[in-house]
Structures are given as C-alpha cells and as structure tokens.
Amino acid sequence: MVGCGQRDLTKKKIPGFLKENLRLTSYQIVGGSQHFQFYNLVVSSAGNAGHGYGTIGTPDAAPYALTVGAVTNNVYIGSGSFKNQPRFGNSTYFSGDVAGFSSKGPGLVGDPKPDLMGIGEYSFTPISVTKYNKNATGPFALFGGTSLAAPLVAGSAAVLMESLKQKGEQYNPFRIENILMSTATDLENDPFTQGAGLVNVTNAINFVKGKDETFIVYNDASYSNVKKILDVPIKALNSSSIGLERFQLNNKSFPETSWFGGRLLPGERTSATFTIENPTDKTLEIKITPKTLELIKKSQYDGTTVVNLKDPLLNKSGVFRPNYLPLENVKDRLDLLSFFQKSKPIPEDASLMVLNLNFPFSEFLNASSKMYADDIKISSLYLYDWEDKNKDGKQTYTELSMVNRGGSWGTVQELRVSEPNSKIKHVPLVGVYPVPTRYSYWQGDTKKNSTSMDYTISASYYKKENWNDIWLNSNDIQVAPHSSVHVMATLVVPLDSQPGVYQGFLSVKDDLHEVNVPVSFGVLKKLQPKDLPTVLKGSKNGNILYGTGYIGGAFDMANRYNAGDWRQYYFDVQDRTINTVSLNISWENKDTNLSVFVVDPQGRIVQTNVPAGVLGQFQGWPTGD
C-alpha cells in the first residue's frame, strides 16, 4: 500500500498521461509488469489546486489508483496563528465540507475523480512527521492539504485489510477500493468534487462484519473502458523509461465501484453489469436511482469592501474583521418591496450550497503597475453560523462559528456547504475579508495599505434530481442474505449532447445504507470533412455545476500553476489522411486568457498556447510558436 502526497510541483502540474500515472497504474494491477506480480493499493492525494474543475494533476489522476480530496476540520481554530483572528470565529464545531483548495476532476481520460475524501483542512500531526522546524519543542504541529487526506485514507485501508485478514477473506486493491467507496459518507457534492464521499472506516468494517445492512456495489465495465484508452499510450511507451522491463495492463477485468462509460458519440449507448453484494443475515430491499445535481435557486448581491474594520472585542493592532453580510441579503431584488421583505435564504430542499465571491480583474490587479502582477488586492470568503447571544444585532467574533471558507490569489473565491439547513442552527452570515495590505506576485506582502474593492456574491443552491440518461433493467431489488444480485445499467447519450465530459450518480439505497456510485462519460466531436471547419460554440448552462460549454474562472497567482477551471474535449478523427489541424480559440472578455493544451492519443502534449519556459527544457513541452 502506498500513500502519496506528491510535492514535486514541476511534475504535478503538467496535464497529460505522464509516466508517473502509468507507473502508479503498474503498481496496482497484477500483470502490469514483469517486476510487479503482486497487488499494491496506491493511495494518492488529489492535489491542492482547487476550487476549479480539472485540476487533478500527475500522478494523482492515475485512473486505477485511489485519488483522495480534502474536507474541512475546524479543530485548528483558536490555535497558533489562528488565535484571536476574528475571521476564523470562535468555534471548532464544524467539519466535513469540501476544502476550497481540494483539486477536482475529471481525470484526463474523462473518468470520475477523485475517488474519496479525507480530512485535509486541517489537523495536528506529530512534530516528528512534519519536521517544519528542527527547533520545535511541542509534540504536535498543524498540517493539512490533500497530503494529509491521502495518508488518512491509506490508514483506513490498512484497518480494513486487517479486518478482512482476521476474517480469513482474500482481497486485492480493487476489493479494498470498492469497499471504501461503497461505505463512504455522501457529502452531497458532484462526483468530480467528492467521488463517492468521505471515507468512513466504521462503515467499511460493518461490511466485513455483516452489520447495519451495509452492502457494496461494483461494475464490470469501467476497467475495460479505461484500458481501451490507456492501451494506446502504453503501446508507444518505452517501458524501461519508467524502470520496468515490460509494461502492459492485464487483460482480465477488475471490478470497480465508479462507472466510466467511455467516450461516445451522441446517440450511442454503453452498458455495465452492477453487482450488489449483501454480507448480512437479512434480505435487503434496495432501490436504484440515477441522480444528478441541479440548480434550484440562485441569487446575488453587489457590494464594496471596507478595509481595516475592527471587531468590538479585539482592539489589537493589525487585527481586522471581515465585512459581514447576512445571507438573507444575498437575494434578487425584483422590486422595491422585495428589498424590505425578509425570507429564509436557504431553500428547504437544498442539499448543497455554493457561495462565490467575484471581483473585476481591474479591481484585483493594478494594470498601471510598472511590473506585471506587482500590485494585487486580495479578499477571501467566509460563511458563519451567527448566534446573537446578547440580542444586540451586532456581530462579534465570539458569537461566530465558521462553517467553511474560500480564498486564493484570484478573482473568484468559492466555498461549499452540504446540507446547509441542518448544519446552520442560527443566522447564516457571509464574511468578505479584505486583506489589509497589497501583495506582489514576485515579492509577497508589499506592506502597502489596501483599498476597497467592488464585488459580487452569488449563492447557488442544488439538490439531486433524477437523471434520465441511464436506464436500469430493474430499479427495485431484493438481495438475499450472504448473496449477490446483478443489475444491468445502460447509458444512452442524448442526441443533442454537446462535446465534453458529463457526470452523475447511481444512488443504490436501502433503509440504513446508501452507496453513491460516481458515473462519468465523454462525448466525442466528429470532425467535418477535410478543409471544412469543425466548430465548438460555448454556451453557459447555469443549472449544473460542471458545464461543458464554459469555464468559470478559478486561477490562482500564488504559485498554483494548474489552478483554474479546466474543460476537455475529445475529437473523433476518422480520416487517417489528415495530418495537420489548425485550432483557433476566441473569447469576448479582454481580461480573460485561456490556456489550451492539445494532447494526442498517446498522451503527449503536441501543442499549446502556453509558453514552454523551463518545462520545454525539462519536460519536452512544445515551444508554443
């Protein structure tokens, strides 16, 4: 078993089927090489390049490895540098929401990633592990990131292996993955954000012991659908370049919980046989429903930050509070009367709330500065549960419990809260924290006072709705004790589907247990005949979290190279006489810039509009000219 927290940023940030991805794949699959004839469960961190989609880099996107994203754990509030800082509130109560920095899928193949989530923001680890300061005297230090989440999931896998071993059951990496994913706790996010959910080792052990109606689900199609794509770059790979004598994927199929439907044309279909395994002494009554997250309400608020505000209880030099805004103020003003009307801001049926804080690029970066990106203003986003204990209508940090936060050196901040109605017991309060000084990309804190910024806050609320792209031969299943049942699922690509990658879930549920099976598939674009243009026209579908016709903007200038909001498109080139493609990309906003990479079927970056820089020298990137 390998727990990876990749820190070699040069390798991690590059899109494509790099050798590290294939190396991790070989470790996990029997027959993957002549050197590795045994199973190794590979657990890899998703990376810290969120909040945008498509930000899982190398080697974390290895299709057959177990990729782990991060969730919050507010135990750090009140400790160290977080003590007496009004923007963090005064409570460690909240946890279990997606961390704003956690990288999101899909993988470049189009498969659903990450697979699982673990605590990553933040926790305390022994000083001997982190070794931040050789002179440190305390027993523990604060640590975080998906590099914390991945080892925690690896530890959960080890506990599960020990439980299986004690029972005398055989297992392999796919068996461990399937149990962990089938017993994860749903975070009410989409598959490209959460995978199957938050790892729950108690549920995993319940499956081994046949307790609490805990069952698992897996299918027979994902492995071969991924293999079909990977076989092309593997065939062209020099195995010795990754330290192997001979590298190939096993032709045997391995079961997986996640369902990757492959790459299809509009109107095509693909099927998978799902197995539901019941280890309990009870007959299970199970209902299967395809689901996808859809928008039920969106509203926004325009404002301007005020810098250097003080908390009434903390009159300390250099310590400031956020600008506070009750969530009920983030609503559409249809008329004068609606401005004064009060209503509950969160819909009763909302299972997920997404808050975004947007700034004009001209407010974020001073274009008149002599050096580019040498004068930047930053503000971050917070959500609190405010209990007005003395009923005076004034916020103090001692009355605030921080639910989640989002921040980056960019123009878009995001935070997410699952099951917001059940979590927030008092007044939901938004905080916009303007960093008191300006920053430089090159030098960091300039020590110069910041000024106000115009901003827009948007609040989007989602719930799971039925997904009509998947048909089942039966939605209601009985599974007898200590037995398994097979169910056929067929995915039909709608004729009007635009090119890109699509996602959803299969909800497999009984009274006590639910498995959220991540599902994804790519839609191909056929090229027009030679010398005729093939056009992909962008279009924004605001009803879904991950749309194929737009990017949301999530760049970060704090040295997180692959941060952003990525989309991927697959072109079906049938005419083998075509040997050259001219690709033109245009957009309207002058403050927007799109980074584009063209990857061939062998996984090589063959062209890009991004200057190669040192990556051209050390990683073989094309020059871009």
Residue 172 pLDDT:
92
Task: Please say if the pLDDT value at position 623 is more than 80.
Answer: no
pLDDT, tens digit (0-9, with 9 covering 90-100), for 175-234: 999 999 999 999 999 999 999 999 999 999 999 999 999 999 999 999 999 999 999 988
In single-letter form, the type of residue at position 447 comes to: K
Between 464 and 540, whose confidence is greater? 464
Residue matched to tokens 């996808």: 292
Task: Please say if the pLDDT value at position 610 is more than 60.
Answer: yes
Rounded alpha-carbon distances, angstroms, from residue 90 to 85, 143, 396, 414, 485: 9, 20, 10, 22, 50
Q: Which residues contact 238 (CB under 8 A, 6 or more apart)?
A: none
Residue 423 pLDDT:
96
Is it true that the peptide bond before 106 is cis, omega within 30 degrees of 0? Answer: yes
Between 326 and 128, whose confidence is greater? 326
Give SS3 for 126: strand
Residue matched to tokens 């640590």: 143
pLDDT, tens digit (0-9, with 9 covering 90-100), for 27-59: 665 444 443 334 689 999 999 999 999 999 888
Report the alpha-carbon distance of residue 609 to residue 625 in Å, rounded: 8
Walk me through the domains of the chain, giving residue ranges and CATH numbers: 295-464 (2.60.120.380)
Report the alpha-carbon distance of residue 470 to residue 348 in Å, rounded: 28
Rounded alpha-carbon distances, angstroms, from residue 80 to 85, 105, 142, 157, 312: 10, 33, 9, 32, 22
pLDDT, tens digit (0-9, with 9 covering 90-100), for 242-283: 777 888 888 888 999 999 999 999 999 999 999 999 999 999
User: pTM here?
Assistant: 0.93
If one counts every other C-beta atom within 10 angstroms of the C-beta of residue 610, the result is 17
Residue 315 pLDDT:
85
Task: Please say if the pLDDT value at position 299 is more than 80.
Answer: yes
* Mean pLDDT to the nearest integer, 389-412: 95
* Mean pLDDT to the nearest integer, 138-148: 88
CB burial readout 300-334, b (16+ within 10 A) else e:
ebebebebeeebeeeeeeebbbbbbeebbbbbeee
Give SS3 for 222: helix
H/E element, 274:
strand 269-278
Residue 343 pLDDT:
74
Task: Please say if the pLDDT value at position 346 is more than 50.
Answer: yes
* Mean pLDDT to the nearest integer, 274-301: 97
Report the alpha-carbon distance of residue 251 to residue 231 in Å, rounded: 11
Rounded alpha-carbon distances, angstroms, from residue 381 to 6, 39, 460, 514, 620: 27, 43, 15, 33, 39
* Mean pLDDT to the nearest integer, 17-30: 58
Report the alpha-carbon distance of residue 21 to residue 14 in Å, rounded: 11
Residue 79 pLDDT:
87
Mean of per-residue pLDDT scores for the chain: 89
283 touches 481 (CB < 8 A): yes
Q: Which residues contact 535 (CB under 8 A, 6 or more apart)?
A: none
Residue 331 pLDDT:
87
